[in-house]
Every structure is written in C-alpha cells, then in structure tokens.
Amino acid sequence: MLSKLEKEILELKKQKNALILAHYYEEGNIQEIADFVGDSLFLAQKGKEAEADIILLAGVVFMGESVKILSPEKKVLVPDLNAGCSLVDTSPYEEYKAWKESHANSVLVSYINCSAKVKTISDIICTSSNAEKVIRAIPKDKKVLFGPDKNLGKYLAKTSGRDMEIWPGVCEVHVQFHAKNLFDLIQKHPDAVVIAHPECDEEVLNYAQVIGSTSRLLNEVKDNPAKKFIVATEDGIFHQMRKARPDAELIQAPTAEGCNCNQCPYMKLNTLEKIALALKEEKPEIKLEPSVIQAANRSLERMLDISANRNVNF
Ligand code: 13P
Ligand code: SF4
C-alpha cells in the first residue's frame, strides 16, 4: 500500500506532467516511485527522449545537468543541489583545462561524473557502461587523455591496451572497498561470484570475476544462476538485486575495519519528502548558461552516437 507521501508524489507527477528518474544508488522507497530506475547512461537517454515538461532526477547534480544539457527546453529538478560527487570535486575546471592544454593533439575522454564546464572542453563523454566502446572508437594513432576517475582510467588502459594519460580523481565511496578484507571474505565464500564497479581500486578489481556499471552488475545477478554474490558497489543497488534474486545470497564487499561507508553521502541526500517538495515548488532547478549547454552538448551527443553505433570523427 502506498503511503500518503507516495500518493502525493504520484498525484503531483500527473498534475505537472513530470517524469521521475532514479539512480540505482537511491533508497528503495525512491526507486519504487520512479518511472525509470537505471545507471547514468540510461538516465541520460531516458531524460532526453522523455515527452514530460519536468524531469525530476533523483540522483546527483551531474546527472541532472546531463539531462538539462541534452534537453535544454525541459525543466530539470534535483531534490537537493548539495548532491555532488567527489569526482566532480577532484576535477576543477581550470586545472583540468590546463591539463588538456598541456597535451596537444590528444582526445580527451571524460567520465560523465564531471561538471558541465568540464564537459564543454571534453572531446567525448563516457559512462562506465560504454567507456570501452568509446575508447575503441578512437583511432589508434591518437593519444587518449582520460579523467577524472583514475581507477576507471587504469581499468580501461588495461582492457584496451592503450597508453593513456589519466587524471588522478577518485570516487570517495568505491575506494573504501578493501582488497585484503575482500580476499579474506572470498576464502570464507569460495562459491561466491565477485562483482565490482570499475571505480574500485585496482587491487579490489583484481579479485572480481565481473567488472561493470551498476546495470551490468545487476544483470549479472539476474542472469547468473550462482546462488551467492559478493558485491563491490554502493549499497542502493541491493534493492533491485534482492527483488530480482530473492533466492540468492548477496554479500556486500568489505570496507576497511570499522568503516561502514559503502553508502554515497550525496545520493543519500534525496528523500521522498524532498522529492514531493521539489515537485510542488518546481525547484531546486538545474540552471546552466546557454553557452555551457551548447558546448557541453557536443561531447554528450557524441557519446550517445557511439552508444547507438553511429560514426564519430576524432
Ligand atoms: P553507473 O553509471 O554505473 O550507474 O555509475 C554511476 C556512479 O556514480 C557510480 O559511482
Ligand atoms: Fe560520485 Fe562515488 Fe557517489 Fe558515484 S558513488 S555519485 S562516483 S561519490
């Protein structure tokens, strides 16, 4: 049965012709009232193709910005504008730009977890679900710069065999997963399939049988008949995993001793109360300069082109 607050949100949604998109790291109650739940690529695509007048993005600010850049005519709401991301914080525009300029004739691939301004100077954007495809599309004779996530960058350099310059940003949540503690846990559960998000440290990824985006990890749990999984990503994803596989044992990968920090503090700023208020007041709204939207649109659209197997020239 729906609560009073949930009913109010659904009513507001109808009244205002709004669409709610939620990331897998949101609390289960938010995922349940969303029209679509997904990874960052899926949310950007859904936001772009939606017919709604208002898109409420239950996720972090860079995700709302991506929807706004792809659909400037829509009103994009994010329930709490403090929902940042450590990767955005560790790639300040001026320094990132100087880094790009110090590597002339390179192709700058930026992970979608970056600011709108960083997107304006990037040649192409990627997410963890299409990053390998994006790198493969870049001619071999071009130098690749990758940022801001160093762990995803290192992983891509390894899988693609490309020599890449990598910006040293990190996700403050995924770097908490602890390789030695994971090793010990695997000894206790040798029958478990270890799955990990590529933002984890290389030492953690070395123990994983499957590495991928949130949707890739969810699909593994859905499709793999194994009965036990050790999961190295943020704990919001467990909501869909448990729904899909009530028969399987899902074990959170360990962080360092005494640290219970496998939750993204930014994603978890969103609540049903804030969502209801945002729909009622039609704020906080994502606002970007038209020149930023225009310049950032190019790198995001190129990513969508590659995802849809359309040709992109570098
Ligand atoms: P996904 O694109 O895999 O959903 O990841 C987004 C993210 O912020 C991971 O920390
Ligand atoms: Fe950013 Fe990490 Fe949170 Fe994802 S989990 S939004 S990368 S801080």
Q: What is the mean pLDDT of the chain?
A: 97
Q: What is the pLDDT of residue 304?
A: 98
For residues 175 and 22, what is the distance between their CA atoms, to the nearest angstrom?
A: 23
Mean pLDDT, to the nearest integer, of 183-203? 98
Mean pLDDT, to the nearest integer, of 183-199? 98
Mean pLDDT, to the nearest integer, of 141-161? 97
Cβ atoms 55, 47 nearer than 8 A: yes
Which residues does 96 contact at the CB level (< 8 Å), separation at least 6?
Answer: 114, 118, 121, 147, 148, 167
Model confidence at 102: pLDDT above 70: yes
Model confidence at 135: pLDDT above 90: yes
Model confidence at 240: pLDDT above 80: yes
What atom of ligand 2 comes closest to residue 23's alpha carbon? 6
Where does the pLDDT of residue 182 fall: very low under 50, low under 70, confident under 90, or very high at 90 and above?
A: very high
- Sheet order of strands, 18-23 included: 36-38, 18-23, 54-58, 75-77
- Half-sphere exposure (Cβ direction) of 149: Cα atoms closer than 13 Å: 28
Pocket test for ligand 1, best of 37, 111, 113 (most atoms within 8 A of CB): 113
3-state secondary structure of 81: coil
* Preceding peptide of 148 cis, ω within 30°: yes
CA of 106 to the centre of ligand 2 (A): 27
Query: What region does 53 belong to: left with phi over 0, alpha with psi -120 to 50, or beta?
Result: alpha
CA of 216 to the centre of ligand 1 (A): 11
Ligand 1 binding pocket, CB closer than 6 Å: 39-40, 113, 127-128, 171, 197, 199, 213-214
Which pTM value belongs to this model? 0.97
Which residues does 302 contact at the CB level (< 8 Å), separation at least 6?
Answer: 123, 124, 125, 312
**What is the identity of the amino acid at 200?**
C
Where does the pLDDT of residue 134 fall: very low under 50, low under 70, confident under 90, or very high at 90 and above?
A: very high
Give the number of whichever ligand sits closest to the CA of residue 148. 2
What atom of ligand 2 comes closest to residue 86's alpha carbon? 8
For residue 4 the two structure tokens come to: 């009073």
What atom of ligand 2 comes closest to residue 88's alpha carbon? 1
CA of 172 to the centre of ligand 2 (A): 7
Where does the pLDDT of residue 258 fall: very low under 50, low under 70, confident under 90, or very high at 90 and above?
A: low
Residue owning the nearest CA to atom 5 of ligand 2: 264
For residues 289 and 144, what is the distance between their CA atoms, to the nearest angstrom?
A: 28
Q: What is the pLDDT of residue 261?
A: 80
**What is the identity of the amino acid at 14?**
K
Q: What is the pLDDT of residue 88?
A: 98
Domains for the chain: give ranges and CATH numbers: 4-83+267-283 (3.40.50.10800), 87-172+294-307 (3.40.50.10800), 174-252 (3.40.50.10800)
Give the number of whichever ligand sits closest to the CA of residue 173. 2
- Which string of b and e fits 128-142 if b means at least 16 CB within 10 Å? bbbbbebbebbeeee
Q: What is the pLDDT of residue 257?
A: 73
Where does the pLDDT of residue 39 fall: very low under 50, low under 70, confident under 90, or very high at 90 and above?
A: very high
CA of 300 to the centre of ligand 2 (A): 19
Model confidence at 31: pLDDT above 90: yes
